[in-house]
């Protein structure tokens, strides 16, 4: 861990409700999501989110009911090089289980040793990223680019499984192909079938293509086709999951075994509580009150202070605050206040001013849609992807 907070006591912002542990109740539905030996009581997972799913965000998701989370994607070569990035990647907190470590890279020779290091560090699952559509990632033959190289992709999976598969589940994240062409479809199923033949425990499929990036709807019909194709093997669906209702609908409409929630849970940890309620057959809980929003943000902030120290916590939390603001009845004003934050004191001022439960606020409404965020390092426009 980095610098411990000392000159401020952020716990004064927290009510007892903010300190509760993650819900422990079991779903009344018998089926649990299984990823290798892991048994998750609900099939709703926090996805790996580049630039977001750090320890503080993962703790926040767990407090609100997430049964399993993934760390933000890590470059395989950084895990093998001495330095700060390696130390951070290999630091797994005792309260952060079960947790997946997601790897991205281009060289099969590096993936196996990197996966072994993550397993030794304490990650419970090793996930391989074949889905990232960001331009600089594709230009380095990483992420989604590998969907156009099935031989390389399967070699990577083989190396990772050989390195850790005897002790740790290996999973894969994919998009439905580079594009909608026939060759892309053939490559997708070649990698999918080959991955399961090599022993992967689960595959997450995003219903958009790499070229599509974040434009247009995710094709849930394709997810249903994939699940029918693999039978009892574990498929998790991804794409357009911005509400608990959408998460339930994806499972019901496609038959996937679970879902990974990505952009939909940034600044919205309550989505996991809502998913739990719907999974149990209960009514959707009311949207989070100002007090509950304050509790969640303050708790998230405490963790960021512990991890990043006073110097950097305010800046790190700014991007989360912008997303939390979308739940506030004065969303545009609160968003502007978070954008102006540069340090922990300014972040504290935003909490004091805009999250005072004693003030007479307008009615809180549930957040809908993806909001302002597209994704870290990405844009909404389609991108032409050419192999270098």
pLDDT in tens, 67-89: 999 999 999 989 998 888 788 88
- Using the 8-state DSSP alphabet, how is residue 369 labeled? S
Identify the pLDDT of residue 159. 98
Please state the domain extents for the chain.
Answer: 1-20+288-364, 31-279
Q: Using alpha carbons, list the distances in angstroms from residue 379 to 20, 36, 95, 127, 261.
A: 37, 35, 34, 24, 19
Q: Give this prediction's pTM.
A: 0.87
Q: Where does the pLDDT of residue 345 fall: very low under 50, low under 70, confident under 90, or very high at 90 and above?
A: confident
Q: Is the pLDDT of residue 244 over 60?
A: yes
Tokens for 27? 């779903």
- Which tokens belong to 288? 């989070």
Closest CA to 105 of 126, 124, 120, 123: 126
Confidence of residue 29 (pLDDT cuts 50, 70, 90): very low
Whether the Cβ atoms of residue 55 and residue 13 lie closer than 8 Å to each other: no
List pLDDT tens digits, range 285-341. 999 999 999 999 999 999 999 999 988 888 899 999 999 999 999 999 999 999 998
Residue 244, helix vs strand vs coil: helix
Whether 170 contacts 201, CB under 8 Å? yes
71 compared with 15, residue with greater pLDDT? 71
Cα 21 to Cα 50: distance, rounded to the nearest angstrom: 26
Q: What are phi and psi of 56, to 5 degrees?
A: -65, -45
pLDDT score of 3 more than 50? no
pLDDT at 369: 66
Query: pLDDT of 179-227, one tens digit each?
Result: 999 999 999 999 999 999 999 999 999 999 999 888 878 889 999 999 9
Residue % of the chain over a pLDDT of 90:
72
Which pLDDT does position 83 carry in this prediction? 85
Give, in words, the CATH class of 31-279: alpha beta
Q: Which residues pair with 35 in a beta bridge?
A: 38
pLDDT at 370 over 70: no
What is the C-alpha to C-alpha distance for residues 279 and 261, in angstroms, rounded to an integer? 15
Most confident stretch, 70-84, 107-121, 136-150: 107-121
Whether the Cβ atoms of residue 326 and residue 335 lie closer than 8 Å to each other? yes
């Amino acid at each position: 861990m980095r610098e411990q907070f000392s000159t401020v006591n952020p716990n004064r912002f927290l009510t007892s409700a903010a300190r509760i542990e993650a819900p422990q109740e079991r779903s009344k539905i018998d089926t649990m999501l299984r990823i290798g030996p892991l048994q998750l009581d609900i099939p709703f997972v926090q996805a790996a989110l580049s630039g977001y799913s750090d320890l503080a965000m993962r703790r926040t998701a767990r407090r609100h009911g997430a049964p399993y989370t993934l760390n933000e994607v890590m470059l395989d070569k950084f895990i093998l090089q001495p330095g700060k990035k390696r130390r951070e990647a290999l630091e797994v907190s005792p309260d952060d289980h079960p947790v997946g470590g997601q790897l991205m890279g281009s060289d099969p020779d590096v993936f196996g040793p990197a996966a072994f290091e993550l397993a030794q560090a304490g990650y419970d699952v090793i996930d391989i990223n074949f889905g990232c559509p960001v331009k600089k990632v594709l230009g380095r033959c990483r992420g989604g680019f590998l969907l156009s190289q099935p031989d390389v992709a399967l070699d990577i999976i083989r190396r990772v499984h050989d390195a850790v598969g005897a002790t740790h589940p290996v999973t894969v994240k994919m998009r439905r192909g580079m594009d909608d062409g026939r060759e892309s479809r053939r490559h997708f199923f070649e990698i999918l079938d080959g991955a399961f033949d090599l022993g992967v425990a689960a595959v997450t499929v995003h219903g958009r293509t790499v070229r599509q990036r974040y434009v247009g709807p995710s094709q849930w019909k394709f997810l249903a086709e994939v699940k029918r194709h693999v039978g009892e093997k574990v498929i998790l669906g991804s794409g357009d999951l911005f509400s608990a209702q959408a998460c339930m609908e994806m499972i019901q409409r496609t038959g996937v075994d679970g879902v990974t929630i990505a952009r939909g849970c940034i600044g919205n940890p309550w989505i996991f509580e809502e998913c739990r309620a719907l999974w149990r057959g209960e009514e959707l809980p009311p949207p989070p009150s100002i007090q509950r929003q304050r509790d969640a943000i303050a708790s998230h902030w405490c963790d960021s202070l512990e991890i990043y120290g006073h110097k950097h916590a305010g800046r790190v939390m700014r991007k989360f605050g912008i997303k939390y603001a979308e739940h506030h009845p004065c969303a545009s004003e609160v968003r502007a206040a978070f954008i102006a934050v540069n340090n922990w004191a300014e972040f504290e001022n935003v909490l004091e001013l805009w999250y005072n439960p004693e003030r007479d606020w307008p009615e809180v409404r549930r957040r809908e849609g993806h909001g302002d965020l597209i994704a870290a390092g990405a844009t909404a426009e389609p991108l032409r992807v050419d192999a270098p």
